[in-house]
Every structure is written in C-alpha cells, then in structure tokens.
A and B are shown apart, each in its own frame.
Chain A
Amino acid sequence: MSVVQMSVAVEQTQTNQKQQPNLWSRLARPALGLLVPLALACGWELAVRAGLSNGRLVPPPSRIYVEFAELARSGELLRHVIATLLRVAVGFGLGTAVGTVLGAIAGYSSLLRRLLDPSLQGLRAVPSIAWIPLFILWLGIFETSKVALIAVGVFFPIYLGVMGAVLSVDRKIVEVGRAFRLTGFAMVRRILLPAVLPAYVIALRSGLGLGWMFVIAAEFMGASEGLGYLLIDGQQLGKPAEIVAAILAFAVLGKITDWIVAVIAVPFLRWEDRFSAHAGEG
C-alpha cells in the first residue's frame, strides 16, 4: 500500500461525501419550504371536517380545489388567465421599453438626466393607483387604460434600475474600453451592456412584480374578464373559494413569469461572482 494509493482513496471518499448532501439538498431542501403551508392546509381541512368550523368564509383546501377544478374544467379559468396575462404582457412590454430607453438616456447623459430625472422622480412620488381616474377619462374604461396603468407601474422600477446601473458602471472598466479605442455603439455593446445586465435583470423582475400588482388594480376598475374580475365576482356573490382560487392563480402565474425571466437571464449572468452561488453549496 503506497502513499499515492492512500491519497487516492481519501479523495474518493471526499467526493462521495460531497455528492450525498448535493442530492439531499436538491430534493429535500425545496420540500422544506412546503412544510408550513401544507401543515396549515391539512390542519384547517381537519378542523372543518371535524366540525370545529363551517368553513363558509374560510373555505378548506378541498372546497378550493373543487372550485378551482370546476373553473378549469369549464374553461372559465383559462379565459380569465389569458385576459390577465395579455394585459400584463402588453403593459410590461410597454413599461419596459420606455423605462429602459429613458433610464439608459438619463444614465448616459448628465444633461438629459438633469432635464428628465426631476420630473420623473416627481411623478414617481404619485401613487400609481391615483392615475386611474385620469386614465379612464383619457383612455376609456377598456383595455387601453388598464394597460397604461400597468405600464406606469412597470416603468418606474425599470427606469430607476437602468439609470442606477448605467451610472454605477465602474469607471475603470470603461477606461479599459477606451484604451482599446471603443466608442459609441461598440462601447455600449461590449462594455456598458454587459456591465448593467445583472442590475437590469433585477429591475425587470421587480418591474414584473409591480406589473402583477397593478393588473389587479386595473381589473378592479371594471373588467368583464380577468383574474381581478374573478376576485370582485367572488366577493359580490359571496364565494370565498372563488376568490382564493383566483389568488392561487395569481401566485402561480406570478411565480412562473418571474421564474421565466430569471431562467432566461441565467446564461447571460454565469460570470457573476455571486455570494449565493457559493453559499448555496455549503
């Protein structure tokens, strides 16, 4: 038995030990997060079954499931989900486009920042819901005003995120670009764009979150379809199960769309020296 063999043996046991917690963490750790909601749901279900409560105002999971399945089976759910998704998509797209362009301009040119930023910061101080009456007067009660409200909600975090990211690009890195004689568009493409990308993804995700917030406000102001309509409908007809089903749909959709943005960003941000990338392993 030589020293070399021994050291090889030690390495092997180390890799084995490493793989096991990896497998465990991949399966069991996300499941850990489900423990609390599952326990609460089961507890409430049992409480209603045992007759401790009639569950009329706070429906047990089984009743919510039945409501959800009924909505899904009749095609109602899909119709409302599509209506809401469309509004969020158009509003998010609009808000993102305008926010990105204005944020980039304000970050890049100090003159335009001095010109634009105070007004935009002033508008940002207005709670976006306050725009609803004006938007209804200007744009009518149909889709346009709803989309406009969502776009306004999405605009501000993206504008702020892009402007802040452009402003905080490291001068030293920009200097590297200058030393390699990059100017104008080449500088933007090869230095500024990659440098702001991590902050941009965060801005997109917070913008999307606000988009989902504002779509409910928009649908509260009068809609014939959409998940927000479902919420109002459930309230007016006294159907808490329908409300909870709509809330669940919101949760699922919000999570999925956020996840999509995050997943699309992953290949572009692989280079990041992130704390979580290392901390997640341990």
Chain B
Amino acid sequence: MLALERVGKTYPNGVHALLRAISGLDTPSQGRVLLDGEPVMAPHEKIGVIFQEPRLLPWLSVAGNVGFGLEDRPKTERHARVAEALARVGLSEKAGGWPRELSGGQAQRVAIARALVPRPQVLLLDEPFSALDAFTRVDLQDHLLDLWTDLRPTLILVTHDVDEAIVLADRIMVMRPRPGRIFEEIEADLPRPRDRQSAAFDHVKRRVLAALDRSLARPVRVDDSETKTSAGAALWW
C-alpha cells in the first residue's frame, strides 16, 4: 500500500518530481511518502525504478547488470534469479555480452529485468518507453505486463502516450502543469489483455484526451459527453 500525503516539490515538471519523491531519490519539500505506513526518506528496497534511459552499467555484463540489486544474496540464488529474469525478457543468449552490444529495446528490457529481480512491491517507471520506436514500444508494453503478472507489484508509470497509459494502467491520473497537480482520475477497468483496437479502449481514450484538454484549460476538442451517462457507457461497452 502506497500513500502520498500532499507531496510537494518545486521542480520544472511536476510529474517527474512526484516520481522522484516516491522513489526516495529526492526528498519532497513538504508532505510525506508512506509505504505500508512507513515514511520513504531514501531509496527503498521495496521500490524499484525504471528510468527513461536504460542506464545500464557499461562495465558489467548483461547478467551482471540484471543481478546488480542482488549483491547481498548467495551466488547460486543470484545466478538462478538472473538466468530466470533474462529468460523471461528473452535475452538469455545475451547474458555474457556487454550492454553496448544491445539495441535500445533490448537494453530497456535488461533495465526492466534489473528492476524486477529484487522483487519490489512498487515499480516506478519514468517514461520508460518514450525513447523507443513504435513497434518496440508496443512489444515492451506487452513484455512489462507479462512480467507484472508474476509478482503484481504496484506500477506507477509516467507517460505522455495516452495509448500506453490505457494499455497498462487501471487508474489514470491526468496532471495539470504549473503548478503540477493531479487534475483528474480516470478508471480504466478494461479486461486484460487489452485490445488496442476495441471500442471500449477507444472510449477510455476519448475520456483521457478530454481530461487532458480540460487540464490545459483548452476548449474540449474530443466530445466525451455522450459517454458520461451510464446508458452511453453501456452503449460503448
């Protein structure tokens, strides 16, 4: 259970500040982050982070990077868990290779494995797929969901990609800029696996886009009025 108590921090971008505060990398200027009732003051063993870039350590092999958070475990356990994680992201044959030999998508997969191997309760993802091409992005979204089903950590994902938010998230928070505040929350309780082409998907997307327009105080360009009634929603479902 992760709770946020009026977390505030002056930062150019509110949402990154929020994520960094939750991760414990930055301390919020006011408010607290609570994990199971305990305040998070510094990086926490139950909170994993995936950055926008893979940030692999170039001097460690791919397997060494995946096992980076397991240094204190016995060697055999470490090897087993690293091998398993690499198999799950489909990079077993790259285990002995160097990070420089990986493509962008492969490197980010290794970063995901590295964050998941210590079995965090909360996984923070800061625009993890924004630097990748469209095909790799969709591929990695599915990969992330596949890995998530094992341990089901709480995922907190920052994204500027509406489709990505709807594919991955159950609750979508739309944030307003300057000052960064949570503006609106949208439930996306679609059945999994989610079909990016379905009408229900499209319906949620319209709601998110309309909320984004409203958050920027722009005239609402996407018409979501018809779906606001339960009759309308039933129609869409």
- Residues on A lying within 8 angstroms of B by beta carbon are 172-173, 175-176, 178-181, 190-191, 194-195, 197, 270-273
Complex CA gap A178/B42 in Å reads: 9
B43 near A179 (CB under 8 angstroms)? yes
CB-CB under 8 A from B49, the residues of chain A are: 179
Q: Is B104 interfacial (CB 8 A cutoff)?
A: no
A191 near B51 (CB under 8 angstroms)? no
B43 near A181 (CB under 8 angstroms)? yes
A173 near B68 (CB under 8 angstroms)? no
Interface contact tally, CB-CB below 8 A: 44
Complex CA gap A124/B53 in Å reads: 39
A173, A195, A270, A271: the one within 8 Å of B55 (CB): A173
A271 near B58 (CB under 8 angstroms)? yes
CB-CB under 8 A from A181, the residues of chain B are: 42-45
A272 near B69 (CB under 8 angstroms)? no
A274, closest chain B residue (CB): B100
Complex CA gap A259/B105 in Å reads: 38
Q: Is B91 interfacial (CB 8 A cutoff)?
A: no
Complex CA gap A271/B62 in Å reads: 11
A178, A179, A194: the one within 8 Å of B57 (CB): A194
Q: Is B236 interfacial (CB 8 A cutoff)?
A: no
A176 near B55 (CB under 8 angstroms)? yes
CB-CB under 8 A from A172, the residues of chain B are: 51, 53, 55
A175 near B57 (CB under 8 angstroms)? no
A270, closest chain B residue (CB): B98
Q: Is B59 interfacial (CB 8 A cutoff)?
A: yes
B42, closest chain A residue (CB): A181
Q: In chain B between 34 and 81, which residues have their CB closer than 8 angstroms to a CB of chain A?
A: 42-45, 48-49, 51, 53, 55, 57-60, 68-69, 71
User: Dominant SS at the A interface?
Assistant: helix
B17 to chain A, nearest CB (A): 14
Extra A-B contacts (7), CB below 8 Å, given A191-B57, A273-B98 = A176-B51, A179-B23, A180-B69, A181-B42, A190-B71, A271-B59, A273-B100
Which of A178, A180, A195 neighbours the largest number of chain B CB atoms within 10 Å of its CB? A180
CB-CB under 8 A from A180, the residues of chain B are: 43, 68-69
CB-CB under 8 A from A178, the residues of chain B are: 25, 43
- Can you name 30 A-B pairs with beta carbons within 8 Å? A172-B51, A172-B55, A173-B55, A175-B51, A176-B55, A176-B57, A176-B68, A178-B43, A179-B23, A179-B25, A179-B43, A179-B48, A179-B49, A180-B43, A180-B68, A180-B69, A181-B42, A181-B44, A190-B68, A190-B71, A191-B57, A195-B59, A197-B59, A270-B98, A271-B60, A271-B98, A271-B99, A271-B100, A272-B58, A273-B100
Complex CA gap A190/B100 in Å reads: 19
Complex CA gap A85/B13 in Å reads: 59
A38 to chain B, nearest CB (A): 39
A120 to chain B, nearest CB (A): 29
Complex CA gap A179/B56 in Å reads: 13
B68 near A175 (CB under 8 angstroms)? no
B172 to chain A, nearest CB (A): 25
Complex CA gap A191/B58 in Å reads: 10
A42 to chain B, nearest CB (A): 45
CB-CB under 8 A from A175, the residues of chain B are: 25, 51, 55
Which of B42, B43, B45, B48 neighbours the largest number of chain A CB atoms within 10 Å of its CB? B43
Complex CA gap A175/B48 in Å reads: 12
B92 to chain A, nearest CB (A): 20
A179, A190, A273: the one within 8 Å of B58 (CB): A273
CB-CB under 8 A from A271, the residues of chain B are: 58-60, 98-100
B115, closest chain A residue (CB): A179
CB-CB under 8 A from A270, the residues of chain B are: 98
A194 near B43 (CB under 8 angstroms)? no
CB-CB under 8 A from B69, the residues of chain A are: 180
B111, closest chain A residue (CB): A176
Per-position 1/0 for B75-110, Cβ under 8 A of A: 000000000000000000000001110000000000
CB-CB under 8 A from B58, the residues of chain A are: 271-273
CB-CB under 8 A from B25, the residues of chain A are: 175, 178-179
B145 to chain A, nearest CB (A): 22
B23 to chain A, nearest CB (A): 7
A119 to chain B, nearest CB (A): 33
Which of A176, A181, A191 neighbours the largest number of chain B CB atoms within 10 Å of its CB? A176
Complex CA gap A64/B53 in Å reads: 60
CB-CB under 8 A from A173, the residues of chain B are: 55, 57
CB-CB under 8 A from A272, the residues of chain B are: 58
A170, closest chain B residue (CB): B55
A192 to chain B, nearest CB (A): 11
* Chain A to chain B: the 8 pairs with minimum beta-carbon distance, closest first: A273-B100, A194-B59, A179-B49, A271-B59, A181-B43, A176-B55, A180-B69, A179-B43
Complex CA gap A197/B57 in Å reads: 13
